[in-house]
Structure 1
Amino acid sequence: MFVLNELDQKLLEHFKGYVVKKDLVRSVKVGANVPVFVLEYLIANSCSTDDEEKIKEGMSNVKKILSEHYVNPEESALIHSKIREKGRFKIIDKISVELDSNRDMYWASLQNSNIRNGNIRDSLVTEHEKMLMGGIWAIIDVEYDSDIKIGQNIYPFVISNIKPIQLSTFDNSKIISKRKEFTKSEWLDVLLRSCGYEPNAEGVTDRIKMLLLSRLLPMVESNFNFIELGPRSTGKSFVFKELTPYAVLISGGQGTVAKLFVHGTTNKVGSVGQWDAICFDEATDKIFKDRDAIPLMKDYMESGSFSRAGAGGEITGVASIIFNGNINQPVETVLQTSHLFSPLSDEVNNDTAFLDRIHFYLPGWEMIKFSPHHFTSNFGFSTDYFSEALKSLRRVTYTDVLEDYFSLGSHLKQRDTKPVKKTVSGFIKLMHPDGEYTKEDVREYLEIALEMRRRVKEQLKRIGGMEFWETNFSYIDKETQEEHFVGLPEEKGSNLIENTPLPPGVCYTCTSDGDSLALVRIEAVVTSGSGKMYISGVNNTVVKDNIKNTYQYINANEKTILNEQHSLKNYDITIQITNMLGASISSGIGSAVYIAIVSALYKKNLKSGLAVLGNISVGGAVERAINFADKITMLSDNGAKSVVVPIDNLSELTGIPATVLGNTDIQFYQNNQLLMQKAILVD
């Protein structure tokens, strides 16, 4: 027997008729095709009670309606027969409509009933335009008329009436007036249970609760660009597929200009003008069917509007954009070898202009994998009421609230400030729909907002270099003038360059191939031998020649570089090259190889967190490092405490960010002797 807890009793007291026991949906065995909001639409009014007999009676009625009118796909032939024999039949199904321009008429399709060419009058299509944008679930009256022919073909199915499965009217005053009856933690639990989650289940920490809540932000904030990449089975698309009739899920590769933006023939505005949220599911496979959709999406994500030739000027929309997809490797591995956008479809995963428009990167790898105990059996808002409440909150904004208490640090540009303000606004709407919040509430939401936007910026820095180097996000308390910096959990302790004296033979450097950088670890291993050299870890001929030239330089100048005891002819040397991060390794590693070999021969440690840039030619000339500022920044970001660089790069020092110079000591050399002095740790 179910026992009401205090929160259930509060909900029934203040929201009777608008809440439902969430496990009732799971007890109705109707297959996987019925969204939660469809089932709860049917059970909310009759089962919003703690009276077990009334719940049983209501559920019995719901099951009867579903058994008689909900269409399972395997029953489609039976439904066709029922419509024919009865002449008119009411069904629950998902209906979509397409324009047949050759015949200048609309055709309706019913998903589970397998009706593909249903007759539907223009006025119904005009009244329910979302049928053209992916379809809606509805209670549908279907009639049978065998006299309707086109040529020799009979098209007997006629859609005579449609009742969308959502509330016809909504007043959010109850949500606003009753919020004060609940504590902040109680209200958070109510919101999560309304989504079907059990907030008190094992493994659901306070942080997980806020991450789960974050999935609702695109439903309360217009034009909010959101991404979640993480493992499978974490419910990434659940909110947008099951909990609201105002969101649409677009399968991978199905994003077209006509569907998303504007139809080239009819000039009808697409999904961005019809839905509150558009979720691209499986965005790691393919997002857009048309390449032309990408620049339009960039414009839309930036400004909420776009222009299309022949469409009659600028077109606006309010739909939030969501990208969901799977990361199949541990996040640590992804960060060591690439960036956190790399799992996305190839069409956008290195497009910095596209990715920079994302407001919020939810770390899906932190999410729990859902099992039965993570779904609640307690009361929460019925989904139709909840979805209407979320929609109503889009009409208000709190984007300027944080300025009452805090200012943002210097590293946040305009494109960073907007996402942060919208995120704070969204959280206030969800948690404080009555507008009653405190400074500490705003601080909590601000820190989450800074983290989620910084995650975007950090990946852009990995892809695009200096243009995005300012990622040290912070906020300043206006009352105390204290500055608080916000980091990323996955970045902590992830320095790839050890902040301890480096072992003999180990040195770090950075190479560049165009704008693409690679963090490289060089390890020279010395064994007794006869003067042979082996290279492993790299196949690039140019890089191998770079290493061989450095070795030949040392060999040709042994008398001035090495003493007799350490002569190359007495040793075999293996040079192991490891790509720690970024693109393919390219040339320009000669000076680092030189220091690795010499320190290995002399068994001398190198300085803590050391990296070396530049090249030493066969003739001994020191060659400057190209892409100097980008390389220094990448090395500093990955733990380099000291970087020794050619003197010819001195004039470029002014291009290094001040924060980098504060973390990393840059020293210059003009010959091999100075290089050794500045790199080798003195005993």
Structure 2
Amino acid sequence: MIILDDLDKKVLEHFRGFVVKKDLVGIIKGGANVPAFVLEYLLANTCSTEDEDKLKEGMENVKTILRNHYINPEESSLIQSKLREKGSYKIIDKISVELDSQKDKYWANISNSNIKKANISDELVTNHEKLLLGGIWAIIDMEYDPLITIGTTVFPFVVKEIRPIQLSSFDNNKVSQKRNEFSKEEWKKLLLRSAGYEPYSEGLDERKLNLLLCRLIPLVEANFNMVELGPRSSGKSYIYKEITPYAILISGGQGSVAQLFVNNTSGRVGAVGLWDTICFDESTDKLFKDRDAIPLMKDYMESGSFSRAKGGEISGSASIILNGNINQPVETVLQTSHLFSPLSDEVNHDTAFLDRINLFLPGWEITKFSPQNFTNHFGFSTDFFSEVLKSQRKITYYDALDKYFSLGSHLKQRDSKSVRRIISGFIKLLHPNGEYSKEDIREYLIIAMEMRRRVKEQLKRIGGMEFWDTNFSYIDKETQEEIFVGLPEEKGSSLIEANPLAPGVCYTATSDGDNNTLVKIEVVALKGSGKLNVTGTSSTEVKENIKNTFNYIRANEKTILNEQHSLSSYDLNIQVSNIMGAAIHGGIGSAVYVAIISAIYKKNLKAGLAVLGNVSIGGAIERAQNFADKVTLLSENGAKTVIVPMDNLSEIPTLPTTILGKTDVPFYGNSQMLLQKSVLGE
């Protein structure tokens, strides 16, 4: 019995004839090595229904067509015999063509039927150029003519007609109009079901769904370059192999100049001009057959065109995807090398090549799929779905973010271009009607910055100072607030984040002489009347520290704050959190001071910042007790900079050299110096 959810009903109401129940493909496919888009092309015409009887009838019809016309490799001799006996036969198979230059003739090779050197007209080849680049799945009218000979050799098989398995016509307006009938959540679910996934099934949370959507961006964005490294069986190449006839999968080491770019003999443009997406599978092995393919690929990835001596400038729109397996935990790779290291040696240290990658998808986060992760609900048939994706390639939302946000200073031209194109891709996927909100753009902007920053962080590891600007941020045009976007894997096991700290956040350490504690201070400044609210601690000593710091700022606000930022205009909520260790003790005043000022001014603090010391009610800077223990604790938990009181200067020799090697320890003698050394950009 078919059980429909609300989305199934809505999908059938608005897209009947263009949707299929996705589990039917698996039921029919059985052992047949036929791509999903071939099956769904047949299914959509007869099985786009919730009526169980009609569904069964449609499935039987498809089974009959496959039984009679789809060729399994083991049936190749039988099909050749049928062709000989009947004189003509219709088959469903993959057909490719090669040029025999010695005979000045094209030959067709029909994959599963094991027919080599079938006769095919020049006209058919001209009309279907992809035959020369890996081939296409099609319904093929074959004939058998034993009178065709070259010399004494008989070449009896003839390709008379080819009908590629894809929609004959497509109206994108229908999709953009119908999108208005669905919420963003419903549309996202429909897209993912159309790709075969069941959203929110076990292990597929919101984060992973967004990563799966990233796999679709090269299909809607022309000339988009992406890398995905992850474990085996996580579906890295599934999208490009199964759900669209507009993508080609190239095995490692197979990419030649003639196949990819241009055949110098015939002048025919290669795969970059004929496919929407080229996916290099197993990019951890050798990528290219010819060495001179690499400079051409760099050229092409940068501009969408390349130059050859004979033909001048040649353009293409294919997106480039490099997929590969990553066999070690990410933490291990990052400790010893960089995340591009699993790629082929031809490119994994070539910063000019790698900098052209727009999006680095963390495939290690996408776990191996289990049966419940695949949907049994309705989704677009893959031939329709592939047309929906293809139709979006002509549109761009490159400037969509400019209405609401601007990009931070660390994003260079290639970073900005990549971020904009990822956002454009998400809009095309989720808002084909062109209607989106500020919060939609913010969501896509954060994802986009992460995906491009991952490229930049690895380039920094390989190329050093040239790629040093990795603190990616965006500025909300309405509030002028600057927000920094980090990477999950860069945080590693550190408790103190390696990115610029948000306004109001600062780290410190406390000690009772024997036990040390890592402490996080968070201050939220709201418009109000000067109230102070402290949470997270019951220690009288800690509360006294905070109160003294607050009173010091209030007594000196004319010099510390300007007239627009009087403490009496704000209510301060201060949260003190024990991140690690024993009870929280005193000596946190300086960190509280920095957190309060940055919260009021909405200023980010430096990446991985911690502050030691205390500010007395009179403004004196008090020495940090147990100096070496505290600095070591902070450094080992990710602090990049620990600002300490001048009175601790004499204790520097007590710090281990390993700590000084990875953590900066500047000193401050007063509250003004403390701010100058804490605030980002100061």
Given the two structures, how large is their TM-score scaled by the length of structure 1? Answer: 0.74
The equivalent of 1:174 in structure 2 is: 174
Q: Retained in 2: the 8 A contact 1:194–1:381?
A: yes
Answering whether residue 373 of structure 2 is matched by residue 350 of structure 1, we say: no
The equivalent of 2:151 in structure 1 is: 151
Deviation at 1:180, TM superposition (A): 1.2
For 1:224-303, list aligned pairs within 5 A.
224-303=224-303
For 1:605-616, list aligned pairs within 5 A.
608=631
The equivalent of 1:27 in structure 2 is: 27
The equivalent of 2:213 in structure 1 is: 213
Paired letter, 2:631: S
Deviation at 1:609, TM superposition (A): 5.5
The equivalent of 2:394 in structure 1 is: 395
Q: Secondary structure at the match of 1:608?
A: helix
Determine the C-alpha separation between the residues in 2 that align with 1:664 and 1:77. Answer: 74
Q: Retained in 2: the 8 A contact 1:609–1:640?
A: no
Determine the C-alpha separation between the residues in 1 that align with 2:232 and 2:347. Answer: 21
Determine the C-alpha separation between the residues in 1 that align with 2:179 and 2:186. Answer: 10
The equivalent of 1:551 in structure 2 is: none
Determine the C-alpha separation between the residues in 1 that align with 2:284 and 2:365. Answer: 18
Q: Retained in 1: the 8 A contact 2:73–2:112?
A: yes
Determine the C-alpha separation between the residues in 2 that align with 1:433 and 1:237. Answer: 25
Answering whether residue 337 of structure 2 is matched by residue 363 of structure 1, we say: no
Q: Retained in 2: the 8 A contact 1:636–1:663?
A: no
Q: Deviations over 1:456-500 (max 9, x none)?
A: 000000011000010000000011100000000011144599999
Determine the C-alpha separation between the residues in 2 that align with 1:224 and 1:34. Answer: 28
Determine the C-alpha separation between the residues in 1 that align with 2:336 and 2:483. Answer: 30
The equivalent of 1:630 in structure 2 is: none
Determine the C-alpha separation between the residues in 1 that align with 2:662 and 2:15. Answer: 56
Deviation at 1:369, TM superposition (A): 1.0
Determine the C-alpha separation between the residues in 1 that align with 2:426 and 2:630. Answer: 47
Paired letter, 1:194: S
Determine the C-alpha separation between the residues in 1 that align with 2:77 and 2:217. Answer: 41
For 1:460-609, list aligned pairs within 5 A.
460-494=459-493, 608=631
The equivalent of 2:319 in structure 1 is: 320
Deviation at 1:607, TM superposition (A): 8.1
Paired letter, 1:20: V
Q: Compared with structure 1, are the counterparts of its residues 234 and 183 closer, same or farther at alpha carbon in structure 2 (3 Å cutoff)?
A: same
The equivalent of 2:407 in structure 1 is: 408
Q: Retained in 2: the 8 A contact 1:451–1:486?
A: yes
Q: Deviations over 1:413-452 (max 9, x none)?
A: 0011111000000100100000110000000000000000
The equivalent of 1:80 in structure 2 is: 80
Q: Compared with structure 1, are the counterparts of its residues 338 and 392 closer, same or farther at alpha carbon in structure 2 (3 Å cutoff)?
A: same
Deviation at 1:155, TM superposition (A): 1.0
Determine the C-alpha separation between the residues in 2 that align with 1:465 and 1:178. Answer: 49
Determine the C-alpha separation between the residues in 2 that align with 1:102 and 1:60. Answer: 47
Determine the C-alpha separation between the residues in 1 that align with 2:489 and 2:393. Answer: 32
Deviation at 1:608, TM superposition (A): 3.1
Q: Deviations over 1:616-666 (max 9, x none)?
A: xxxxxxxxxxxxxxxxxxx999755479xxxxxxxxxxxxxxxx9998347
Q: Retained in 2: the 8 A contact 1:93–1:112?
A: yes
Q: Retained in 2: the 8 A contact 1:37–1:384?
A: yes
Q: Deviations over 1:205-263 (max 9, x none)?
A: 01111111111000000000011100011100011000000000001100110000000
Q: Retained in 2: the 8 A contact 1:97–1:108?
A: yes
Deviation at 1:368, TM superposition (A): 2.3
For 1:24-173, list aligned pairs within 5 A.
24-173=24-173
Q: Retained in 1: the 8 A contact 2:419–2:448?
A: yes
Determine the C-alpha separation between the residues in 1 that align with 2:476 and 2:661. Answer: 26
Determine the C-alpha separation between the residues in 2 that align with 1:230 and 1:6. Answer: 34
Aligned-residue CA RMSD in angstroms?
Answer: 2.4
Deviation at 1:133, TM superposition (A): 1.0
Q: Compared with structure 1, are the counterparts of its residues 143 and 30 closer, same or farther at alpha carbon in structure 2 (3 Å cutoff)?
A: farther
Determine the C-alpha separation between the residues in 2 that align with 1:34 and 1:123. Answer: 27
Q: Retained in 1: the 8 A contact 2:228–2:322?
A: yes
Determine the C-alpha separation between the residues in 1 that align with 2:495 and 2:457. Answer: 16
Deviation at 1:199, TM superposition (A): 0.6
Q: Secondary structure at the match of 2:236?
A: coil
Paired-residue identity, %:
69
Q: Retained in 2: the 8 A contact 1:500–1:609?
A: no
Q: Deviations over 1:501-522 (max 9, x none)?
A: 9xxxxxxxxxxxxxxxxxxxxx
Determine the C-alpha separation between the residues in 2 that align with 1:268 and 1:256. Answer: 14
Determine the C-alpha separation between the residues in 2 that align with 1:318 and 1:29. Answer: 33
The equivalent of 2:664 in structure 1 is: 664
Q: Retained in 2: the 8 A contact 1:218–1:321?
A: yes
Q: Deviations over 1:525-548 (max 9, x none)?
A: xxxxxxxxxxxxxxxxxxxxxxxx
Q: Retained in 1: the 8 A contact 2:223–2:320?
A: yes
Q: Deviations over 1:323-373 (max 9, x none)?
A: 111001111111111110000011111111000000000100110211111
Determine the C-alpha separation between the residues in 1 that align with 2:432 and 2:640. Answer: 47
Determine the C-alpha separation between the residues in 2 that align with 1:609 and 1:340. Answer: 28
The equivalent of 1:435 in structure 2 is: 434
Q: Retained in 2: the 8 A contact 1:260–1:270?
A: yes
Q: Secondary structure at the match of 1:394?
A: helix
Q: Retained in 1: the 8 A contact 2:200–2:206?
A: no
The equivalent of 2:519 in structure 1 is: none
Deviation at 1:610, TM superposition (A): 11
Paired letter, 1:352: T
Q: Retained in 2: the 8 A contact 1:609–1:641?
A: no
Q: Deviations over 1:161-182 (max 9, x none)?
A: 0000000110011111111111
Determine the C-alpha separation between the residues in 1 that align with 2:379 and 2:33. Answer: 22
Determine the C-alpha separation between the residues in 1 that align with 2:139 and 2:632. Answer: 67
Q: Compared with structure 1, are the counterparts of its residues 636 and 148 closer, same or farther at alpha carbon in structure 2 (3 Å cutoff)?
A: farther
Determine the C-alpha separation between the residues in 1 that align with 2:107 and 2:30. Answer: 27
Determine the C-alpha separation between the residues in 2 that align with 1:664 and 1:308. Answer: 51
The equivalent of 2:624 in structure 1 is: none
The equivalent of 1:329 in structure 2 is: 328
Paired letter, 1:152: T
Paired letter, 1:29: K
Deviation at 1:313, TM superposition (A): 1.1
Determine the C-alpha separation between the residues in 2 that align with 1:280 and 1:637. Answer: 39
Determine the C-alpha separation between the residues in 1 that align with 2:631 and 2:355. Answer: 35
Q: Retained in 2: the 8 A contact 1:610–1:640?
A: no
Determine the C-alpha separation between the residues in 2 that align with 1:450 and 1:344. Answer: 22
Determine the C-alpha separation between the residues in 2 that align with 1:10 and 1:103. Answer: 57
Q: Deviations over 1:181-213 (max 9, x none)?
A: 111111100000000101131111011111111
The equivalent of 1:425 in structure 2 is: 424
Determine the C-alpha separation between the residues in 1 that align with 2:165 and 2:380. Answer: 16
Paired letter, 2:473: S
Determine the C-alpha separation between the residues in 2 that align with 1:157 and 1:665. Answer: 80
Paired letter, 1:268: R
Q: Retained in 2: the 8 A contact 1:221–1:422?
A: yes
Determine the C-alpha separation between the residues in 1 that align with 2:5 and 2:493. Answer: 44
The equivalent of 1:384 in structure 2 is: 383
The equivalent of 1:372 in structure 2 is: 371
Matched residues, number: 525
Paired letter, 2:250: I
